[in-house]
A and B are shown apart, each in its own frame.
Chain A
Amino acid sequence: MDRKKMYLVILLICVSTIVSGCWDKVEIDERAFITAIGYDKYKGPTPEGAEDIEKETEEKPLNRYVRTSIYPNVSLIAEKGEGEPFFVYSTTSISWADGRAEVALRDNKNYYAYHLKAMIFSEEVAKDETLFREMFDTFQRSVFLNNKLHFFVTPGKAQDILMTDTGKNMDVGLYIEELMDKEVSPTRTAKSDLGSIVIDLNESNAALAPRILKSKDELKVSGSAVLKDNKFIGTLGELETRDALILKGEAQNVDYTIKVDGKFIVIGQTDLESKMKAYEDKDEKIRVRFAIKAEGDIIQHYFDTPNEPYDAKYIEAVNKKSSELISRDLRNLFKKVQKDFGADIFKVGEYLRKFEPDTWEKVKDEWEEIYPKIDVEVDFQMNIRRAGIQG
């Protein structure tokens, strides 16, 4: 009896593994490692066929997106084959899942998105709150998407960006990833990934996302897109983005060109520490104060200026002047974001909620109105530590 039972158990184990096993087994060379996906707004087949467009019904929405996905030619990466560096599949779709299903009909490889590196929305898609929210909901729900993937907004067509030939024999997704994640990462575009954007939108209803442009045959990340209320509301330029990152304490290696005594001096910042503090003053006005400490080198002065850069007093003057100028720029940037967009990208509200709960209780309901009116004070302290070897 005992022995019989044992055989039965063994049989059950064998059967259950063999019957249920292998159900999601896909060989690695049969997968399409999607590296980038772009979404554009669908605008109908052709202008003249406009009347043929089906009417949107209760059951079935119309095609809304043009979905473009690319994956690299792996044979080329392993130096085994030849051909295009990447494959592009474009389709119209009504949702994320629909787009995936449409491409699956045409692609011989199995869709696999865990190595997805970049997600690009055209501004038109990003401006449409419904589409934006539908997509972000999918991103957040999926366990097969990496939170670290880069989310971009592009003023042009996402499709064009994805089909760019980088000239380096690699596909755009990998190119963008290397570009964004390199050691000396660019400071003139927003540093945020899908995960952090989702968190920012949840916490402060505003976020910065990097922008990507295509000029001629080149890709460029440039400035940032301001997201608020789950849609795209405006852009910040490259230097503005840099200033925003300085306020957030996220831009370490930045060069400033400062005019001191009629001379343009270039200061290279090597270290940065930013502390934000928000509080309610006696007049029940909310104030926010940024205390930023920076260290830097003089990397450009004027040739043959004896003694000046090595004089403690002179350095002190440069410190003072640069601190003043940079503080002013930063304050202006904050005011711009505050007044023009009303977007709380620096998470002042979140700070109040965490550290000044009493104040937050009072203001949280009218935060949208209060935020544009709060006072800002920026105290940027530059400390030049090195002045170079020889003047």
Chain B
Amino acid sequence: MSNYEELFKPKEENQDKINLTKSLEENLKKVKRILKGSDDMVYREFNVGENQNLKFATAYAEGLADKVIVNEYVLKNLMVLARMTEPQVSNIREKVYELIKNGVLSVSDLKEVDDINVITDNILAGETVLLIDKWDKAIIISSKGWPMRGISEPQSDVVIRGPREGFTETLRVNTALIRRRIKDPKFKIKQMKIGSRSKTDVAVLFIDGLVNQDILKIVVDRLKSIEIDGILVSGYIEQLIEDNWRSPFPQIQSTERPEKVAANIYEGKIAIIIDNTPFALIAPTTFNSLLQASEDYNERFLMASAIRTLRYISMFISVLLPALYIAMLSYHPGMIPTELALYIAGNRDGVPFPAVIEAFIMEGSLELLREAGIRLPGPIGSTIGIVGGLVLGQAAVEAGIVSSLMVIVVAITAIATYSVPNYSFGSPFRLLRFAYMMGAAFLGLYGVVLVFLISLIHLTNLKSFGIPYLAPFVYNMSIKDLKDTFIRAPLHKMKRRPEYVAKNDKDRLSNHFNRDYLKKGEDSGGEK
């Protein structure tokens, strides 16, 4: 049976526990001392009761806690409504907590703590603390509520047909987006805090019974082992837990699309959501899954398969085309059809640079253009596009610095690069392209093949959380597992989860489902 609860047990806190005392003043002083210098803290002391003889205090961080909750449901209730409930005078001191918890506070989420460090942590996370005189415990009232960005369309993961929702910077919203897609009680959202100072919430999402326990263990162990002061963006987690930091290839997929995360969870994978970042991480990740777009499953299978194949081809183009251009032109013009070879030779006549330098200049300026365009504000960005387009295309050719064929090669390469659906997966190709170009420059086609072999060796060695990166091409390879690779088989043919992740519950679609069933009774349908 699953032992995931075991996995998520927090480590023993080595932080000292500071017990609360019975004196409100003393407690409040301690809290204030810890949070000294934080001017965004709000402390409020007040008296409650018919005779105003019960002393209370609240503390919260302004901007993080929802003031409406604090004012309307905590302070108002305590100060005004509490007088309406008639307490039994005899045991009021003993039962005051019960009374307040059950009778006064109209807030759904309450916790009882007795450690000042926990109290301050909660205040900093946006909760409100209620301290009561003559009682050595405090109540944490859930009051998180800060201004946040609404759910909007993802910027980096755009689809034409598909949901328009994207993750936001708030963890809770993000988990809810996924929970809405998986209403299975076995779907688990386990949270932990990472970062000794940032105390960032990190949630691990998976379906119990479906997830591969070994992978889950690796993921959680690695997450737990992170000891860092702060986690700001998902990239921190990604780089701290990935298998091979030297590799240019991302071994964890990041996405802004909740339905993509849900789909992967259904396959038995694990999602990691980090507070303050709109990207969820998916592990394990394979080469193949990075070339899948969520739209593939929304399209009819013929179209989706064609596009898949196109994507694989474009991947090769984006890596190989400039290198092949160099190799063919400088070393093996015999491989080019005669008429094309003659045309290229004539076209390059008068170009002062060898093909290698030409390719490096053009590919380099393309990368420059991309880099310049990314961070520029919109109106100036289009200027860069026009200027860059002119310089790269027309002017360079007219001036005779580069041949027009090179411009075509650069353009096709750029288009091919950006047809890779995952942005962070496109980057290694852009980088590798230069390695291939170097190989071609020194050794021609032989060099290209050498670099190709080196990258293939690297890819076959690479693993993502124990799963070979090239799965399903290298791992227990069977025709069945190729249904979701170069092509996307019709949905009713994809009855099983991917073999390489799912170990437990492998069936997705009932084996009894077939197309004939849909047609049953159709013959008599028209006649009645």
Q: A: which residues have CB within 8 A of B?
A: 17-18, 21-22, 24-29, 31, 33, 35, 72-81, 112, 114-115, 117, 144, 146, 174, 177
Asked whether A33 lies within 8 Å of B442 as measured between CB atoms, the reply is: no
Determine the residue in chain B with the shortest Cβ distance to A73.
Answer: B346
22 residue pairs bridging A and B, Cβ less than 8 Å apart? A17-B447, A18-B442, A21-B442, A21-B443, A24-B331, A24-B444, A25-B331, A25-B354, A25-B444, A29-B349, A33-B333, A72-B342, A73-B346, A74-B345, A76-B346, A78-B347, A81-B346, A81-B349, A114-B333, A115-B333, A117-B338, A144-B334
Q: Is the CB of B343 within 8 A of A28?
A: no
Chain B neighbourhood of A18, CB < 8 A: 442
Q: Is B341 a contact partner of A27 (Cβ separation < 8 A)?
A: no
Q: What's the least CB distance linking B393 to chain A, in Å?
A: 18
In the complex, the chain B residue whose C-beta lies closest to that of A116 is B338
CA A72 to CA B350, docked complex, whole Å: 16
Which residue of A29, A73, A79, A115 contacts B338 across the interface (Cβ within 8 Å)?
Answer: A115
Asked whether B331 lies within 8 Å of A31 as measured between CB atoms, the reply is no
Q: Contact: A29 with B342, CB < 8 Å?
A: no
Q: Whole-angstrom distance from the CB of B526 to the nearest CB of chain A?
A: 48
Residues on the B chain within 8 Å of A76, using CB: 346
Q: Is the CB of B338 within 8 A of A174?
A: yes
- Nearest-neighbour CB distance to chain B for A145, whole angstroms, equals 10
B116 within 8 A of A: no
Q: How large is the interface on B (under 10, 10 to 19, 20 to 34, 35 or more residues)?
A: 20 to 34
- A117: which B residues are within 8 A, CB to CB? 338
Q: Is the CB of A115 within 8 A of B347?
A: no
Chain B, 418-451, CB within 8 A of any chain A CB = 441-444, 447
Inter-chain contact A29/B334, CB cutoff 8 Å: no
A388 to B203, CA, bound (A): 81
Do A31 and B345 form a contact, CB below 8 Å, given A22-B442, A80-B350?
Answer: yes
Residues in chain A near residue B334, CB distance under 8 A? 112, 114-115, 144, 146
- Please determine whether A31 and B333 come into contact, CB atoms closer than 8 angstroms: yes
- Give the complex CA separation of A22 and B441 in angstroms: 7
B418 to chain A, nearest CB (A): 29
Q: CA–CA, A144 to B332, complex, Å?
A: 11
Contacts of A80 in B (CB 8 A): 346-347, 349-350
On whether the beta carbons of A27 and B346 are closer than 8 Å, the reply is no
Residues of A contacting B354 with CB < 8 Å? 25, 27
**B346–A74 CB distance below 8 A:** yes
- Given the complex, which residues of B lie within 8 Å of A177, measured CB to CB? 338
Assuming the contacts A33-B342, A112-B333, asked whether A75 and B349 have C-beta atoms less than 8 A apart, the reply is yes
Question: Is A17 in contact with B442, judged by CB distance below 8 angstroms?
Answer: yes
Tell which of B350, B355, B442, B444 touches A28, judged by Cβ atoms closer than 8 Å. B355
Residues of B contacting A28 in the complex (Cβ-Cβ under 8 angstroms)? 329-330, 333, 341, 344-345, 348, 355
B351 interfacial by beta-carbon distance below 8 Å:
yes
Residue among A78, A146, A174 making CB contact with B346, cutoff 8 Å: A78
In the bound complex, CA of A24 to CA of B442 (Å)? 10
Q: Which chain B positions have C-beta within 8 A of A33?
A: 333, 338, 341-342, 345
The answer to whether A17 touches B341, judged by C-beta atoms less than 8 angstroms apart, is no
Q: From known contacts A26-B330, A27-B348, infer whether A17 and B443 are also in contact, taking CB-CB under 8 Å.
A: yes
Cross-chain contact A115 with B348 (CB below 8 angstroms): no
Q: How many whole Å from B525's CB to the nearest CB in chain A?
A: 51
**Complex interface: chain A residues within 8 A of B441 (CB):** 21-22
Whether A29 contacts B341 by the Cβ 8 Å rule is no
Residues of B within 8 A of A21 (CB): 441-443, 447
Cβ-defined contact, B329 with A27, below 8 A: yes
Q: Which B-chain residue is minimally distant from A114 (CB atoms)?
A: B334
Most B-side CB within 10 Å, residue of A24, A25, A117:
A25
By beta carbon, the residue of chain A nearest B334 is A114
Chain A residues within 8 Å of B348, by CB: 27-29
A30: nearest chain-B partner, CB-CB = B345
User: Contacts of B342 on A, CB cut-off 8 Å?
Assistant: 33, 72, 74, 77-78, 115, 174
User: In the assembly, what is the distance between CA of A26 and CA of B356, in Å?
Assistant: 11
Closest 9 A/B residue pairs (Cβ) = A78-B346, A21-B442, A74-B346, A114-B334, A29-B348, A74-B345, A78-B347, A28-B329, A115-B338
Nearest chain A CB to B188 CB, angstrom units: 43
Given A27-B329, A80-B349, A177-B338, 16 more contacts at CB 8 Å?
A: A17-B443, A17-B447, A21-B443, A27-B355, A28-B333, A28-B355, A29-B346, A29-B349, A31-B345, A35-B338, A78-B344, A78-B347, A79-B346, A112-B334, A115-B341, A144-B334
- Chain A positions within 8 Å of B343 at CB level: 74, 77-78
Q: How far is the CA of A80 from the CA of B347 in the complex (A)?
A: 7
Q: How many whole Å from B267's CB to the nearest CB in chain A?
A: 38
Q: How far is the CA of A18 from the CA of B345 in the complex (A)?
A: 26
Min CB–CB distance A349 → chain B (angstroms)? 36
What is the CA–CA distance of A25 and B346 in the complex, to the nearest angstrom? 18
Within the assembled complex, what's the spacing in Å between the Cα atoms of A25 and B441?
A: 9
Chain B residues whose C-beta falls within 8 Å of the C-beta of A72 in the assembled complex: 342
List residues of chain A with CB within 8 A of the CB of B333.
28, 31, 33, 112, 114-115
- Which of B338, B443, B444 is the most central at the interface, judged by chain A CB atoms within 10 Å of its CB? B338
Q: Which residues of A contact B338 (CB under 8 A)?
A: 33, 35, 115, 117, 174, 177
Q: How far is the CB of A31 from chain B (nearest CB, A)?
A: 6
Q: Which of A27, A31, A75, A79 has the most CB of B within 10 A?
A: A27
Residues on B with C-beta less than 8 A from A24 are 331, 444
Give the most central of A26, A77, A146, A174: most B CB within 10 Å: A77
Q: Which of B329, B349, B351, B443 contacts A74 (CB 8 A)?
A: B349
Q: How far is the CB of A14 from chain B (nearest CB, A)?
A: 10
| Docked pose: A26 CA to B351 CA in angstroms | 14
Q: In whole angstroms, what is the CA distance A115 to B343 when docked?
A: 13
With both chains docked as a complex, state the minimum distance between the C-beta of A71 and any C-beta of chain B, in angstroms.
9
Measured in the bound complex, the distance between the Cα atoms of B440 and A21 in whole Å is: 10
Contact with A along B337-368 (1 / 0, CB 8 A): 01101111111111100110000000000000
The distance in angstroms between the C-alpha atoms of A115 and B354, with both chains bound, is 21
**B440 to nearest A CB, angstroms?**
10
User: With A18-B442, A22-B442 in contact, do A27 and B349 touch (Cβ < 8 Å)?
Assistant: no
Cβ-closest chain B residue relative to A27 = B354
Query: In whole angstroms, what is the CA distance A25 to B351 when docked?
Result: 16
| Chain B, Cβ-Cβ closest to A74 | B346
Say how far B9's CB is from chain A's closest CB, in angstroms.
38
A110 to B351, CA, bound (A): 17
- Binary per-residue interface labels of chain B (314-338) against chain A in the complex, 1 for a CB within 8 Å, 0 otherwise: 0000000000000001110110001
- Nearest CB on B from A85, distance (A): 11
**With a CB–CB cut-off of 8 A, which chain B residues contact A17?**
442-443, 447
Whether the Cβ atoms of A25 and B330 lie closer than 8 Å is yes
Residues of chain A with a CB closer than 8 A to B444's CB: 24-25
Kindly provide the distance from the CB of B144 to the nearest chain A CB, expressed in whole angstroms. 50
Complex: chain B residue closest to A146, CB-CB: B334
Q: Which residues of B contact A77 (CB under 8 A)?
A: 339, 342-343, 346
Distance between Cα atoms of A146 and B349 in the complex (Å): 25
B346 partner residues in chain A, CB cutoff 8 A: 29, 73-81
* Chain B residues with CB under 8 A of A74: 342-343, 345-346, 349
Q: How far is the CA of A33 from the CA of B351 in the complex (A)?
A: 18
A112 to B333, CA, bound (A): 9
Distance of A264 from chain B, by nearest CB (Å): 42
A79 to B343, CA, bound (A): 9
CA of A115 to CA of B334, assembled, Å = 6
* A-contact 0/1 string along B281-317, CB 8 Å cutoff: 0000000000000000000000000000000000000
A22 to B444, CA, bound (A): 8
Which chain A residues lie closer than 8 Å to B349 at the CB level?
29, 74-75, 78, 80-81
Most buried by B among A26, A29, A33: A29
- Closest partner residue, chain B, to A177 (CB atom): B338
Q: How far is the CB of B357 from chain A (nearest CB, A)?
A: 10
Q: Which residues of B contact A81 (CB under 8 A)?
A: 346, 349
Closest Cβ neighbor of B351 among chain A residues: A29
A contact residues around B329 at 8 Å (CB):
27-28
